[in-house]
């Protein structure tokens, strides 16, 4: 018995002590900067630039520069005299703003002989004929200065209006993804606005939501698919997909993120390959934040109960992800929303939540950007469908 007791004592002494459970992170309140009319935002230096589309005799693009307090610094309109709409925005390393969208050709001028004035004894007033709008079949890039001045407009004619989902800009050029006549496409242009070939990926069963230009000239595209791609078969009901397209324009790599009988989709990405998306299994929906290597190998992942929508950005080794939340989250204190609310999580290089922010004043995140001058700034809808800017401080 003494020998057994001694063995037990030695075993207990040799057993490493249990690791203490991580401390609960208290949720701080997000700061609402201003209510704005905006569909996307860009950070350029110390200026937050909101992008919206206006409608009148023709549709135009409205850009508004604001400081971090929400005060307006300038406002500019892009109006070529024809219809134009901006659907995605980003800034380049020089602080210039790039907008991707669609526009229409200028109306053609018809030459005709002057009509003979018809007799009108009853004094009937003829209503003027409303000018027909041209189809917005021009895939268009606009380059804008940090002060909102238009520097260049670059177009690529298409057979139908293109729906742009995302844009990525680096020192070598611009890449955009979207849909064209129920087909997914990727197209790039150099910094002078010269377009390359349009690359089709998958069918209507695939959707491309995010794009990242890589330094080696390749392009990474993220989204979802319910079909086989590059020989990689469907594993769940719908899989999240990570696709690398070579500099030559061929699909080089396809990685599927799947779960049995589940729907998955990657919704947004940061240039550092911090991704966010949703996982839906039955009635359960989670947001997944995952950091990938350039070879699409996950280094960490975090799942949080959500309503599905989310956005992401990165600053240094930290990842900032905002989601629409309506439930308590394990490891967070002071977060028990009674209605859809925006929750922003900050994760370190290992995927551990280091801080959290939230607000019941906003319900659905639209965009999240980061700059060294402004920090992290976001755009979100409220329950009444107005739009607000928010920040962490």
Residues 6+ apart with CB under 8 A from 4: none
- 28: buried, middle or exposed (CB in 10 Å: 19+, 13-18, 0-12)? middle
Q: How many Cβ atoms sit within 10 Å of the Cβ of residue 336?
A: 12
Residue-wise pLDDT for 21-30, tens only, equals 457 999 999 9
- Mean pLDDT, range 183-201, rounded to an integer: 95
Q: Is 3 helix (H, G, I), strand (E, B) or coil?
A: helix
State residue 111's pLDDT score. 47
Percent of all residues in the chain with a pLDDT value above 90, rounded to a whole number: 80
Q: What is the pLDDT of residue 6?
A: 39
Task: HSE, CB side, 13 Å, CA atoms: give it for residue 46.
Answer: 5
**pLDDT 10s digits, 276-327:** 999 999 999 999 999 999 999 999 999 999 999 999 999 989 999 999 999 9
pTM, entire model: 0.87
Residue ranges per structural domain of the chain: 270-393
Of the given ranges (79-88, 126-135, 367-376), which has the lowest mean pLDDT?
A: 126-135
Query: Is residue 63 pLDDT above 50, yes or no?
Result: yes
Residues listed for the chain: 393
Q: Vertex 362, ends 358 and 365: CA angle to 5°?
A: 85
Asked whether the beta carbons of 352 and 25 are under 8 A apart, the reply is no
* pLDDT > 70 fraction of the chain, expressed in percent and rounded: 87
- Give the H/E segment covering residue 106: none
Model confidence at 123: pLDDT above 60: no
Q: Is the pLDDT of residue 255 over 50?
A: yes
């Amino acid at each position: 018995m003494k020998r057994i007791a001694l063995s037990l004592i030695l075993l207990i002494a040799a057993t490493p002590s249990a690791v203490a459970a991580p401390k609960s992170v208290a949720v701080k309140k997000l700061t609402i900067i201003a209510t704005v009319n905006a569909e996307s935002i860009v950070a350029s230096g110390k200026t937050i630039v909101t992008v919206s589309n206006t409608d009148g005799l023709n549709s135009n693009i409205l850009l508004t520069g604001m400081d971090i307090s929400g005060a307006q610094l300038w406002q500019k309109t892009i109006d070529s005299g024809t219809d134009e709409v901006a659907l995605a925005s980003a800034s380049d390393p020089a602080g210039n703003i790039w907008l991707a969208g669609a526009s229409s050709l200028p109306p053609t001028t018809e030459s005709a002989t002057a009509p003979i004035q018809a007799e009108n004894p009853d004094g009937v007033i003829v209503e003027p004929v409303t000018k027909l709008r041209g189809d917005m079949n021009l895939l268009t890039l606009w380059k804008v200065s940090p002060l909102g001045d238009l520097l260049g407009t670059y177009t690529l004619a298409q057979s139908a209006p293109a729906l742009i989902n995302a844009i990525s800009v680096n020192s070598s050029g611009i890449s955009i993804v979207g849909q064209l006549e129920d087909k997914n496409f990727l197209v790039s242009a150099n910094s002078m606005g010269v377009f390359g070939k349009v690359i089709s990926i998958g069918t209507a069963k695939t959707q491309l939501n995010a794009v990242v230009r890589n330094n080696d000239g390749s392009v990474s595209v993220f989204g979802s698919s319910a079909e086989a791609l590059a020989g990689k078969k469907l594993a769940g009901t719908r899989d999240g997909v990570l696709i690398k397209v070579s500099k030559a324009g061929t699909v080089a790599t396809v990685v599927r993120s799947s779960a049995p009988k589940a729907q998955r989709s990657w919704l947004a990405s940061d240039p550092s390959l911090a991704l966010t998306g949703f996982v839906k299994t039955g009635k359960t929906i989670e947001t997944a934040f995952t950091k990938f290597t350039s070879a699409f190998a996950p280094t960490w992942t975090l799942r949080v109960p959500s309503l599905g929508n989310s956005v992401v950005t990165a600053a240094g080794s930290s990842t900032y992800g905002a989601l629409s939340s309506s439930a308590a989250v394990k490891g967070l204190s002071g977060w028990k929303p009674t209605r859809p609310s925006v929750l922003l999580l900050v994760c370190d290089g290992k995927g551990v939540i280091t801080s959290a922010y939230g607000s019941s004043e906003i319900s659905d995140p639209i965009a999240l950007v980061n700059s060294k001058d402004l920090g992290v700034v976001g755009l979100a809808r409220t329950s009444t469908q107005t739009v607000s800017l928010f920040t962490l401080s």
